[in-house]
Each structure stands twice: as C-alpha cells, then as structure tokens.
Amino acid sequence: MDMNKLSKIYVAGHRGLVGSAIYRKLQEEGFDNLVVRTSGELDLRDDEQVNDFFAEQRIEYVFLAAAKVGGIMANREHPVEFLRDNLCIQNNVIDAAYQTGVKKLLFLGSTCIYPKLAPQPLKEEYLLTGELEPTNEPYAVAKIAGIKLCQAYNRQYGTRFISVMPTNLYGRNDNYDLQHSHVLPALLRKFHEAKEQGLPFVEIWGSGEPRREFLYVDDLANACLFLMEHYESSEIINIGLGEDIAIHELADRIRQVVGYEGAIRYDASKPDGTPRKLVDVSKINGLGWKAVTSLDEGLQQTYTWFLHNQAPVKNILLGI
C-alpha cells in the first residue's frame, strides 16, 4: 500500500505555488509516473470532467493542491468564487478519488481555518473553537469543509485521506499581482518596482504590527511527501517554520534583499487581518520532520527566481 517510484501520482494544481513545488520534489525523488493537467485540459470544478479523468487514469495517489487563492483584497472582492470554486474542486476530486479506489489522498488546507483570536501558537485542536477572520472567511469555510469531507470518507468508507495545514507560503511560482497576491510576494514586487523606478517610498497596507509565519514552499513540498509516506491519521496536522515575524520586520528584510533605499509608509486605515498567526508544529516535529530553510535564505532564493522569471503579471486562479 505504500507509495513507490512507479506509483501513479496525480498532482492537482501543478502550476501553482504549492503544486509546482510538490511536483518538483517528486521528480527530484525519482517518482516518474506523475499525472498533471492544466485548467484548460481539466476543469476541476466540473464533476463530469473530473469523474471521467479519474476513471480513465486509475490514479493511485493524489496531492490535492488545486485551489483558488489570494490575499485580503482578492478575498474581499470575490467571496463567491473563493467559496464556490474551492468547494467544487474539493468535492469533485475527493469523491472521484473514493469512487476509483485511490490508495491515499493528501488535501492541502490552510491555517486560515483557525479562529481569528485563537491562542498562539495555533494547535490543531483549535479548529472550530471560535469565529473566523472575516476577510478570508469564505476561503476558510471551504477549506474546513474539505477537511470534514476527508474525515467523513475515512469514517464511512475507510479511505486514507489526510489533511495538512500549511502556514503562509512563499517561493518560486508565487502570484506577484499587487491586487490579488499575499503579503510577501506583494511586498517583494513593490520594493523591486520602487527600486527600478527610483520611488522615494513604498506604501504598505495596515499598521505593520501583525505577526505572520512564513514557510518556504520547497520545505512544504518536502513535508507533504514525508506525510504521504508516514502519516495516517484523519486528524489535521500543521506544517510551518515554528517562528513568526512582524510585517514591518518582514518589510525591512525584503527591502534589504531587494536593495531598496527609500522609505516605508504604513496605511493604518487599511485592514490588518488576524493580529498574529503562528502554528504549533510540535506534532509534525514529533514525527521527525522540521523545516530547514530560514526566512533570510528563502527570501534571497525567491528574489533570485523573481529576477530571472519576471513576466507580465495576470490575474489568474493559482493552482487550478
């Protein structure tokens, strides 16, 4: 029943930040029987297409990294899509995996599932113990539904569906659109453009005081492969660095990496989101996995990739 180098593995969302990292990691480890489809080739929101695909391919293992994702502004402007599209993707892939006898599925959740004011660091058992952060509630509700669906299939049908909760991610193939990206890639692009254009200052949303944890996406990919091979529980499990940083500190780090010498201004009239979000990683550390890439190292690698891969930024659905 264990995954081997010849196992047929489907990486859903292989062009997104997370899916591309998982795909790279599998290739590096010698897994050659990988199946991928672009959103143009397979619309995961269409149950008929998904059912036909799984019936034809006879997949053995699934990394479900496909999702519609985005930052605060994107979540505020498109709550319907963040809830509806993610529900459709999850429901279709998880059910098709069951119907076709997939041996094991890994569902990528998000730490936004935890209550806005939950104690820190965030332990897995805090799920559903309080109100969610309003700015990304539709996305969080969809992810919680995905977790519960995996657990329900395990309980009712004896499937091996696991759910992992990564913290904030960054790295190559991220979304650098200033209107729809997450905070770290948005800041990196802002500082880069300010440097290129000789701008006197960079403006950042919020007070700069909220604290966030950032995990290099290649470390996440390593953790996902580790858990696919070593974790069997229906209970969710966090994946993170185990350290957090204030947004104003992050901005200073990115400014140094980019080499921008102007000022930083904070627009406190804009929302801060959750005051702090640090995950408890004692569970996954106890299994023998720990992140290896420091924030400074990850930022440097990410900016190097950005410099070599700048392309017209489009508003896209990452990972679908």
Q: Which of 61, 139, 170, 176 is catalytic?
A: 139
Question: In what helix (H) or strand (E) does residue 282 lie, and over which residues does it extend?
Answer: helix 282-287
Active site residue 139: yes
Residue 168 annotated as part of some ligand binding site:
yes
Helices (H) and strands (E) in the chain — how many of each? Answer: 10, 13
Residue 109 annotated as part of some ligand binding site:
yes
pLDDT in tens, 237-292: 999 999 999 999 999 999 999 999 999 999 999 888 778 889 999 999 999 999 99
Q: Would you place residue 75 in the very low, low, confident or very high pLDDT band (cuts 50, 70, 90)?
A: confident
pLDDT surpasses 70 at 80: yes
Rounded to two decimals, the pTM is 0.92
Residue 180 annotated as part of some ligand binding site:
no
Contact yes or no for 25/19 (Cβ under 8 A) = no
Residue 305 annotated as part of some ligand binding site:
no
pLDDT surpasses 90 at 72: no
CA–CA gap between residue 14 and residue 319 (Å, rounded)? 6
Placement of tokens 């720990």 in the chain: 290
CA–CA gap between residue 122 and residue 3 (Å, rounded)? 30
pLDDT in tens, 93-151: 999 999 999 999 999 999 999 998 899 999 999 999 999 988 889 999 999 999 999 99
Of 5, 290, 286, 230, the residue nearest 106 (C-alpha): 230
Amino acid type, 60: E
Placement of tokens 């696919």 in the chain: 228
Q: Would you place residue 319 in the very low, low, confident or very high pLDDT band (cuts 50, 70, 90)?
A: very low
The neighbour count for residue 4, using CB atoms within 10 Å, is: 11
Amino acid type, 311: A
CA–CA gap between residue 179 and residue 309 (Å, rounded)? 19
Q: What is the mean pLDDT of residues 71-76?
A: 78
Which range (177-191, 196-210, 263-277, 303-317) has the least confidence? 303-317
Q: Which domains does the chain have, with CATH numbers?
A: 9-173+214-241+278-293 (3.40.50.720)
Contact yes or no for 190/144 (Cβ under 8 A) = no
